[in-house]
Structure 1
Amino acid sequence: MEQKLLTLVYEKYHRELYLYIYSLSRNHHIAEDLTQETFLKALLSLPEEHGNIRAWLYMVARNLFFNYREKASRNVSLEEEMKRSDEEKDLLANMIENERKLQLYQALKKLDMKKREILLLQYFGDLSQKEIAAVLHITPENVRVLAYRAKKELKKYMEQQGG
């Protein structure tokens, strides 16, 4: 790829990939590092016949995060590292503009990882069900069903919290 095209791809997808990885890791530094590594690995290994660079970037980012988490769990629990920094909690609090969004964020944290990922990719990543299916290696029908169940769980949680 030409450098100009690489720059455009980076500028277009950097922020949303960072937010996606941050939502998984809940750590600013990990998200920054993995976002950079995502672009490096994704663009070096992008297959010629791959038509959707955005879905490819999300797939690479997801794989890098899970590889990182597995490696980190051998050394230090990822949960301990995520809870370590009060600075990270402040960053998240600044990103969440009001109480309703905070409540929604808390509800999202209650979902299991796959359902949370589907909603994040669908609403914040703006990926289609087909693209999400490719990223998560499941069928589009499975994405549809899991998204429905996740939204139902969110609604129930929000109602219990008075939202």
Structure 2
Amino acid sequence: MDKKILEETYQKFQKELYLYLFSLCQNRQLTEDLLQETFLKALLSLSDSHGNIRAWLYAVARNLFYNHQKKAKKEVLSEDISDAQLTEDILDQILQEEKLKNLYDGIRKLENRKQEVLQLQYFAHLSQKEIAAVLHLTPEHVRILAYRARKELKALIDKEYQEERK
């Protein structure tokens, strides 16, 4: 297609295609972008044997608009998912920190030896064998202290929970 025919086609259909695209998207900037893209894509892919240029231009304009809408929805959905995931991650982190704080506060109410065992177990992530080496105890003694400390801790937490509900 030569340059003169391109210019004539643009002059002939530009206004009506602009109105059509604007009626679809209600956005001047988007309408102008889609209009330019319509002429570019339509005229680059239009064969010389095509009989109805006007219908071809409308079909290309319509397809471009709906492709843009699909892409915009996907972007919004991915942003919503990202925002939701970020919010969930932050909320999970806050809840986890609150649980650890409550656990630590409860542990501090126990006698010193039981405090040490649970702190090393929950916060330092040491095994009972490693705790035994640190505290110069037998692994069996650490196991018994940990059991008794968890039992006392559970009783303390249950008691506080019951008091809060009153």
Interval containing the TM-score (normalised by the shorter chain) = 0.3 to 0.5
TM-score, normalised on structure 1? 0.46
Largest Rg, 1 or 2: 2
